[in-house]
Amino acid sequence: MDVDLGKLFFCGFNDFNEEVKEIIRKYRPAGILIYPGVLSKEYLLMDFMSFLSKEGDFLISSDHEGGQLEVLKYVPSSPGNLAFGKNSPDVTYRYSKIAGKIMEIVGFNMVFAPVLDLLSEESSSVIDMRSYGSDPKIVAEHGAKACEGYLEGGVMPCIKHFPGHGRAREDSHLTLPVVDAPFEKLWEEDLLPFRKVLEREKKVTVMTAHVRYSSIDSLPATLSEKIITDVLRKKIGFDGLVISDAMEMSAVSNNFSVEEIVSLFLNAGGNMILLGDYRNLPVYYETLVKLLEDGRVQKDKVERSIRMVEKYLAFAKKNSGVGFLADSSAKAVEFLGFEKIDHTSEVTLLVPSSENLSQADTTGGDYDQIPEIVSRFFEVENVVRYTVEDGPEFVEGDLIFDFVADIPNEKALKAHLSLPAEKTVYFVLRNPFDVRYFEGRKIVVTRSTKPISIYKSLEHFLGRCDS
């Protein structure tokens, strides 16, 4: 069963690198939550999606809710749930369907939305515009229409934060909030949106709140069997996937050990442990193995959770999303004069400026990203920008990367050829016919200025490309 234990984890990734690949291959987390550190670098998102499509089946999610929490630039910005709550639920449906379609095209099959928390005068600012409002019936209707839209768009929604974060005065990222409302009031108000949505939609997931509800239990909802099993499973009748909020949040991590978190959550009836930082997965995974060996986590509940995750993996749509763009970029790269290169030397970069581009050319900004991309693979000693008309100035260095945009005249060509041949690699970005000028030298033909093409060419350098 150890082989399948990774399915009980949903991990957040703010970068994509060799360490990420190793963690995923070794521990096989079933849930992948992609954060802005990847989303803001399109080439990383493309490569991550390509990698995941080759590695197996995953639940691939983002935190994009619209309004207060927007992380995916491809989805049009919305005024947010609070504004939608003043509109017809059809507006929420239309936005969620559009967002879901775009997410599915990109490669996501899940989204950590919608928020079903009620807004109150006591609400922490962590809720604010993420709520559809204060009226439980309105929140329920909008929440249901959001789920309908997401599902039609192609992604599975995750309703949150059960049984409701709205009454909490504090932010559970920072401390453990306590809600003292009697259960009857919670049932009729805070829980009503969850109840109504779960009556209508079956292919949804539920995220728990790191909030203590004193009228129900002394434990926060995420770790409470009374809340997850007795209220959610039995009283409401939900038999689907339950995911925790991120366990590193102070509400939980400052008050409970890793052993307590893992044992309490899984024994309470939860299914997937969300870790905001994938680097915490080895500790949580090994803790789970030990707890199972010691009998402190019920084996039957773990096996049931694994089956539950597999059920949702079967629901989830599977495609490479934008990953095919990474693959096609890699296939277009051509190496002339060498196969690999010593990556221990510091690199001097010669990067073209974006002057004199055609009106039918929007690639100028691509050049600005070259130093950051190269720095993911090499130590960058110096960055020199040059004009295409003049060519680069002569530079010294153990290793020189000359990014060639075009060769417009003899002056520019002479400048490029004046660089030391034994230390220079020429990246021909645009016109592959320019390779004739550098015959006998080390050349990389990318056929593109795009960051993903430069990224994949550098990955090939180090012999790490999958294709």
Q: What residue type is 322 in one-letter code? A: V
What DSSP designation does 69 have?
Answer: B
The answer to whether 145 and 90 are in contact (CB under 8 A) is yes
Report which of 190, 306, 175 is spatially closest to residue 250, judged by C-alpha positions.
Answer: 175
The answer for 353, left when phi > 0, alpha when psi is -120 to 50, beta otherwise, is beta
CA–CA distance, 430 with 407 (Å, rounded to integer): 10
* Structural tokens at position 106: 């990109």
Q: At what angle do helices 18-27 and 42-55 cross, to 10 degrees?
A: 30
The answer to whether 399 and 348 are in contact (CB under 8 A) is yes
Helix (H), strand (E) at residue 467: none
The answer to whether 191 and 230 are in contact (CB under 8 A) is no
Report which of 208, 226, 230, 205 is spatially closest to residue 217, judged by C-alpha positions.
Answer: 226
* Structural tokens at position 28: 């096989």
- For residue 110, the SS3 value is strand
Helix (H), strand (E) at residue 34: strand 31-34
* Structural tokens at position 154: 């192609």
Catalytic residues: 173, 245
CA–CA distance, 421 with 399 (Å, rounded to integer): 10
CA–CA distance, 242 with 266 (Å, rounded to integer): 10
* Structural tokens at position 237: 């009748």
Beta bridge partners of 444: 335, 427
Give how far the C-alpha of residue 102 lies from the chain's centroid of Cα atoms, to the nearest Å.
15
Q: Are strands 380-386 and 399-404 parallel, antiparallel or unpaired?
A: unpaired
Across 196-221, b (16+ Cβ under 10 Å) vs e yields bbbeebeebbbbbbbbbbeebbebbb
Q: Are strands 424-428 and 442-445 parallel, antiparallel or unpaired?
A: parallel
* Structural tokens at position 65: 């809710």
The answer to whether 174 and 126 are in contact (CB under 8 A) is no
The answer for 110, left when phi > 0, alpha when psi is -120 to 50, beta otherwise, is beta
